[in-house]
């Protein structure tokens, strides 16, 4: 249905209705009625169960987000921004309850950001990636000031990292949240885009650019550390961080990432941020 609606300009109203319908479904499926924020004596099994139910609730919109990012034109990409804006508004409405659950409420948005962000990077559509990372949303933590979407999503999910570390199969991993997103996103991305072995490279690029956009937006010199973190310390040809920085240095202001408007449209600004961030990577205490 999505492919048919995307390919026919005369069906733009039907496409809008189709996406709105699924947007309403996920808002209902993730409402406080199904995911109450109250609770006491929370066990790891409660967290694991909630994560799985969020993943199931987001699945249909994952497909939609991937296809919008890969095949959509400018008008379609506005619909992607609409998805993020409405879901963020819905999360922000709930401000009372157990802090753990309030943080985890952002998890469906993270799922959709990875799905569409990886799709955008794979297609070289960095203007779409900019929408994925920088759609402005209001945030309680910043007194209602509008901030790029990556800020509340990454900050809230990072605050529950210890619970991700204790999920089955992720206990011994350096970046368990990142590994979970890698495993969750790969099957659906492969089904729709057939990236094969390039999935690893695209995934790392998305996470690195996400972390640096977060660093820029928060002025912290920090961002969420993903799988690229342990690859960085392996060095050699498997280090995606150095590869991306080298590409930016080579292409300078012709670099597609900054030509799309990310990092204020300045490769020089990106490189400065990247070197500051490198200092944090060098201090990682995994080894």
pLDDT one-digit tens code per residue, 163-207: 999 999 998 898 999 999 999 999 999 999 999 999 999 999 999
Q: Are 224 and 158 in contact (CB under 8 A)?
A: yes
The pLDDT, as a whole number, for residue 211 is 97
The pLDDT, as a whole number, for residue 140 is 67
Q: Are 146 and 96 in contact (CB under 8 A)?
A: no
SS3 148: strand
- For 139, list phi and psi in degrees, rounded to 5: -140, 125
pLDDT one-digit tens code per residue, 7-64: 999 999 999 999 999 999 999 999 999 999 987 789 999 999 999 999 999 999 999 9
Q: Is the Cα torsion angle 11, 130, 82, 67 positive or negative in sign?
A: positive
Reference 153, options 170, 141, 166; nearest CA is 141
Q: Are 70 and 122 in contact (CB under 8 A)?
A: yes
Number of compact structural domains in the chain? 1
CA 214 to chain centre: 11
The pLDDT, as a whole number, for residue 224 is 94
Reference 186, options 212, 165, 204; nearest CA is 204
Reference 84, options 120, 124, 138; nearest CA is 138
Average pLDDT estimate for 136-162: 87
- According to DSSP, residue 239 is labeled -
Give CA angle at 31 (29, 32), nearest 5°.
140
- The span from the CA of 161 to the CA of 183, in Å, is 17
| pLDDT greater than 60 at residue 113 | yes
Could you tell me what percent of the chain has a pLDDT over 70? 96
Q: Are 185 and 178 in contact (CB under 8 A)?
A: no
- The span from the CA of 123 to the CA of 118, in Å, is 9
Kindly state whether residue 287 falls inside one of the protein's structural domains: no
The pLDDT, as a whole number, for residue 236 is 62
CA 18 to chain centre: 23
Kindly state whether residue 213 falls inside one of the protein's structural domains: yes
Kindly state whether residue 197 falls inside one of the protein's structural domains: yes
Beta strands in 74-231 (DSSP E): 136-138, 146-148
Which residues constitute the domain of residue 109?
A: 2-282
Average pLDDT estimate for 218-244: 88
Q: Are 107 and 157 in contact (CB under 8 A)?
A: yes
Reference 141, options 191, 106, 186, 178; nearest CA is 106
- The span from the CA of 247 to the CA of 256, in Å, is 10
| pLDDT greater than 80 at residue 78 | yes
Give CA angle at 21 (150, 60), nearest 5°.
60
The pLDDT, as a whole number, for residue 234 is 78
Kindly state whether residue 80 falls inside one of the protein's structural domains: yes
- The span from the CA of 51 to the CA of 143, in Å, is 28
* Other beta carbons less than 10 A from residue 160's beta carbon: 20
- According to DSSP, residue 40 is labeled S
Reference 286, options 183, 203, 165; nearest CA is 165
């Amino acid at each position: 249905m999505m492919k048919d609606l995307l390919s026919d300009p005369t069906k733009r109203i039907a496409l809008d209705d189709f996406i709105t319908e699924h947007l309403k479904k996920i808002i209902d499926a993730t409402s406080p009625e199904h995911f109450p924020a109250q609770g006491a004596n929370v066990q790891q099994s409660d967290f694991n169960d909630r994560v799985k139910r969020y993943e199931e609730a987001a699945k249909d919109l994952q497909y939609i987000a991937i296809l919008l990012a890969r095949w959509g034109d400018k008008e379609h990409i506005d619909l992607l921004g609409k998805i993020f804006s409405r879901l963020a508004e819905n999360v922000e409405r709930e401000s009372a309850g157990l802090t753990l659950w309030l943080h985890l409420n952002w998890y469906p948005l993270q799922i959709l950001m990875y799905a569409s962000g990886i799709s955008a990077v794979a297609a070289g559509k960095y203007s779409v990636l900019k929408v994925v990372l920088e759609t402005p949303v209001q945030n309680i933590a910043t007194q209602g000031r509008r901030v790029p979407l990556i800020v509340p999503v990454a900050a809230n999910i990072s605050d529950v990292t210890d619970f991700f570390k204790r999920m089955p199969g992720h206990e011994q991993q350096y970046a368990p949240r990142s590994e979970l997103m890698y495993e969750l996103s790969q099957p659906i991305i492969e089904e729709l885009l057939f990236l094969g072995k390039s999935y690893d490279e695209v995934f790392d690029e998305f996470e690195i650019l996400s972390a640096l956009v977060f660093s820029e937006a928060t002025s912290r010199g920090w961002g969420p550390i993903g799988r690229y973190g342990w690859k960085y310390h392996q060095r050699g040809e498997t280090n995606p961080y150095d590869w991306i920085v080298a590409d930016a240095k080579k292409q300078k202001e012709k670099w597609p990432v900054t030509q799309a408007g990310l990092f204020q449209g300045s490769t020089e600004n990106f490189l400065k941020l990247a070197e500051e961030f490198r200092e944090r990577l060098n201090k990682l205490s995994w080894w």
